[in-house]
């Protein structure tokens, strides 16, 4: 029998999951099979791909608080003194879109590598979550913002693959995505290891209609390029220095309470992905893209990928996916919450 404290915890959890993706959809996502040579795979409910985990983090407002209240960000706010009917009135103004990351979070002379990471991390946090109206949002008015890029009609067919690459880079899988920099023909490219399949072949030069005009505005998506370059840099050894100081996904309650995970690339990318994907169909496409691109790095015979790298990639695969036959041995948190919801 469940004790009272467990019931209370589950109730609290249940009411924080007011879903971006509904609980019923989360159940479908978690039970969706991925056919592989090793047998049927499903999402590991305890891994970083699990939609329930992402939903709980979102509803607990971790990314909201990190974006709007992080001390590493110079927030744009002011108190305006006015007069109304002869009385002094103070009006508070907050404009998150004008926030900027401090460039000296840590002493740049003594801790250059650390300061560079935190400056770039928080700059991307601001760009990815502009929060124009003060509420958590990934929608930006800037034409070259990551969401503007991914939402473009010509990009959408490849958007789940692009998100899958960002996810894998955040898990320190060195996906060889490249940016072709021929002027005026800049492209984002990722092919399979054997070169036969194009996972991503997307122009970074796009056009948008000018307001109240048939004229089109040419846009080069610099923010997307900078984000990918940032993720590629910290998919390798450059992140080691940061991880040694405890900026990793928490393994214990004490580590979780320290909150250092809020400044990890995993948290940044996973939070963004869950904010971007709002249907179970797209989440399933995203999961399949993660498996396909990651598995390609593992199974293909490419001497440029060392044995140690392949082992680390297999650990990521096992972190994200499990055999369908093993699923009943895992605690089904989604089912517990759904059952509890049905009884009250």
107 & 125 share domain: yes
Which stretches within 85-142 are classed as H helix?
112-128
**Whole-angstrom distance, CA of residue 104 vs CA of residue 109:** 9
158 & 283 share domain: yes
213 & 133 share domain: no
Please report, in tens digits, the pLDDT of each residue of the chain (344 residues total): 455 555 555 544 444 444 467 888 888 999 999 878 777 999 998 899 999 888 888 888 999 999 999 999 999 888 898 888 889 999 888 888 899 999 999 998 899 999 999 999 999 999 999 988 778 889 888 888 999 999 999 999 999 999 999 999 999 999 999 999 878 788 999 999 888 999 999 999 888 777 766 677 788 889 999 999 999 999 988 888 899 999 999 999 999 999 999 999 999 999 999 999 989 999 999 999 999 999 999 988 777 778 888 888 999 999 999 999 888 888 788 888 777 777 76
3-state helix, strand, coil in the chain (%, to 5): 50, 15, 35
77 & 211 share domain: no
218 & 250 share domain: yes
185 & 284 share domain: yes
In angstroms, the first-to-last Cα distance of the chain is: 17
**Whole-angstrom distance, CA of residue 26 vs CA of residue 41:** 16
**Whole-angstrom distance, CA of residue 101 vs CA of residue 123:** 6
- Which of 108, 137, 166 terminates a domain? The answer is 137
- Return the SS3 of 66: helix
Number of domains within the chain: 2
289 & 233 share domain: yes
Structural domain that includes position 45: 22-60+138-343
Residue 151, in any domain of the structure: yes
Residue 255, in any domain of the structure: yes
94 & 161 share domain: no
186 & 280 share domain: yes
125 & 143 share domain: no
Residue 143, in any domain of the structure: yes
pLDDT of residue 17: 41
Q: How long, in residues, is the chain?
A: 344
pLDDT of residue 127: 94
H or E, element range at 166: helix 156-170
Token readout for 333 is 């948190």
Q: What is the pTM of this model?
A: 0.88
Q: Is the Cβ–Cβ distance between 72 and 101 less than 8 Å?
A: yes
Residue 15, in any domain of the structure: no
Neighbours of 310 (CB within 10 A): 15
Residue 7, in any domain of the structure: no
152 & 274 share domain: yes
pLDDT of residue 212: 63
- Which of 91, 122, 137 terminates a domain? The answer is 137
């Amino acid at each position: 029998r469940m004790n009272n404290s467990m019931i209370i915890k589950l109730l609290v959890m249940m009411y924080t999951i007011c879903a971006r993706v509904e609980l019923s959809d989360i159940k479908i996502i978690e039970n969706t099979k991925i056919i592989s040579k090793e047998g049927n795979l499903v999402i590991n409910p305890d891994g970083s791909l699990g939609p329930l985990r992402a939903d709980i983090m979102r509803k607990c407002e971790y990314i909201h608080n990190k974006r709007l209240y992080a001390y590493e960000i110079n927030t744009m706010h002011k108190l305006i003194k006015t007069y109304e009917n002869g009385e002094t009135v103070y009006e508070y103004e907050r404009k998150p879109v004008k926030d900027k990351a401090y460039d000296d979070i840590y002493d740049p002379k003594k801790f250059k590598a650390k300061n560079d990471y935190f400056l770039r991390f928080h700059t991307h946090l601001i760009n990815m979550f502009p929060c124009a109206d003060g509420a958590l949002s990934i929608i930006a008015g800037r034409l070259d913002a990551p969401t503007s890029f991914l939402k473009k009609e010509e990009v959408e067919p490849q958007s789940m693959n692009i998100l899958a690459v960002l996810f894998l880079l955040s898990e320190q899988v060195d996906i060889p995505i490249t940016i072709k920099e021929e002027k005026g023909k800049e492209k984002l490219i990722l092919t399979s290891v054997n070169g036969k399949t194009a996972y991503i072949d997307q122009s970074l030069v796009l056009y948008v209609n000018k307001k109240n005009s048939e004229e089109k505005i040419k846009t080069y998506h610099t923010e997307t390029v900078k984000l990918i370059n940032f993720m590629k840099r910290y998919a390798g050894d450059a992140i080691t220095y940061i991880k040694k100081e405890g900026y990793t996904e928490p393994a214990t309650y004490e580590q979780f309470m320290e909150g250092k995970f809020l400044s990890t690339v995993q948290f940044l990318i996973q939070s963004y992905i869950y904010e971007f994907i709002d249907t179970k169909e797209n989440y399933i496409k995203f999961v399949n893209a993660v498996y396909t691109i990651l598995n390609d790095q593992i199974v293909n015979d490419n001497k440029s990928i060392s044995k140690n790298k392949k082992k680390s990639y297999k650990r990521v695969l096992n972190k994200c996916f499990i055999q369908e036959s093993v699923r009943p041995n895992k605690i089904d948190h989604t089912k517990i919450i759904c059952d509890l919801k049905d009884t009250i």
